[in-house]
Amino acid sequence: MKNRLTRRQWLSRQLKSVAALFTLMAFRGIARGQDRDYFTGTDFVGKNRTGEFRNFYINYWKPHRRIEAQEWTLEVAGLCRQPRRFSLAELQALPAREQVSRLKCVECWSAKARWAGFRFAQLEALVRPLEQARGVLFHCADEYVEYLPLETLRHPRTLMVTHMNGSPLSDEHGFPLRVIAPMKYGYKNPKAILRLEFVAAEVWGTWSKIGPYSADGTILPGTDHPLEYNKQPRRIPGGEITHY
Ligand SMILES: Nc1nc2c(c(=O)[nH]1)N[C@H]1C(S)=C(S)[C@@H](COP(=O)(O)O)O[C@H]1N2
Ligand SMILES: [Mo]
C-alpha cells in the first residue's frame, strides 16, 4: 500500500514536470512569436521590423507574393502618347544615377541608404506624357496606391530606384522598382511598383486616405528618430533631411 502511494506520488511528480516543460515551451514560443519574421523563407513579403530590418523598417500595406524579375513588367499607361510596358532589363539600360538620402517615415523613424536607378525624365522621354498630365499614380504589388506630381518626379533629388547600397532592391525594400523622393515622407515613396498611370489631377494615396497625413507629404519641421542613432530625437527643419 505504502509502496503504491509512493509510486502514485512519483507518477504525479513526473506528470507535473512534463506539464511544466510544456508550459515553458509554450512561453518560449510566445516570446519568439513577438520577434518572429513571418516572411523570410516564404513566397510572401510584408511589414517587418525584426532581425536586419531593425535598422531599416519595412512597410507594406498588405503582404504580397514576391515578384519574379522574368515575370514582371512595368506598365506605363494613362495620359501619354506612347503607353507601353518595360522589362526590368530595359529600365536598367537607362542612364544610371545614384544618391545617398534619408527615408523619413511620418511615424517617427528614419534611415539612410545609397540608392541607384534612373531619372523619371528618361521614362517620360520614352512615353511622352500629354499636356493634361499633372502627375502619376503608382499602383503597387500590395495594392498600395500613391500619387506624385510631375514636379516632384522631375525634382533633381527624386530617383526611380532599382538598387540599394550596391545590390538590387530586396523584396522588402520594393523589388524591382520604387520611388525615392527624400523631401517627402516615406508614404510618398511607393515600392514594388507594377503600373504607372499619368493622370490629370491629384489623387489621394493609400496613407493620405486612412491617416491624418497630408496628401502632399512634404516633410514638416519637427522631430526625427533615426534608427541608426538609436532613435535619439533630432530636430529637423522640414524638407529633405541632409544634416545627418
Ligand atoms: N507598395 C508600398 N510602398 C510603400 C509602402 C507600402 O505600404 N506599400 N509604405 C510606404 C511607407 S509609409 C514608408 S515609410 C516606406 C518605407 O520604406 P521601406 O519599407 O523600404 O523602409 O515605404 C513606402 N512605400
Ligand atoms: Mo511610413
pLDDT tens figures, 103-118 = 999 999 999 999 999 9
Cα 218 to ligand 1 centre (Å)? 15
Residue closest via CA to ligand 1's atom 15 equals 186
Residue with the bigger pLDDT between 213 and 149: it is 149
Strands (E), 120-203: 135-140, 145-149, 159-164, 167-168, 178-180, 193-199
**Dihedral sign for Cα atoms in the order 61, 66, 70, 71:** negative
Grid cell at residue 236 = 529637423
Answer whether residue 34 shows pLDDT above 60.
no
Average pLDDT value for the chain: 91
The percentage of residues in the chain with a pLDDT greater than 90, rounded to a whole number, is 81
Ligand 1 pocket member 219 (CB < 6 A): no
Answer whether residue 203 shows pLDDT above 50.
yes
Region 95-107 average pLDDT: 97
The pLDDT, as a whole number, for residue 57 is 98
Strands (E), 11-108: 44-45, 64-65, 74-78, 84-86, 97-104
Ligand 1 pocket member 187 (CB < 6 A): yes
The pLDDT, as a whole number, for residue 30 is 47
Q: Looking at the chain, how many residues does it have?
A: 244
Answer whether residue 185 shows pLDDT above 80.
yes
Q: How far apart are CA 187 and CA 213, in angstroms?
A: 9
Answer whether residue 10 shows pLDDT above 70.
no
Name the pLDDT band for 16 (thresholds 50, 70, 90). low
Cα 39 to ligand 2 centre (Å)? 19
Q: In 10 A of CB 17, how many CB atoms?
A: 10
Answer whether residue 132 shows pLDDT above 90.
yes
3-state secondary structure at position 34: helix
Region 155-166 average pLDDT: 98
| For ligand 1, mutation pick of 65, 164, 189, 196 (most atoms within 8 Å of CB) | 189
Cα 201 to ligand 1 centre (Å)? 23
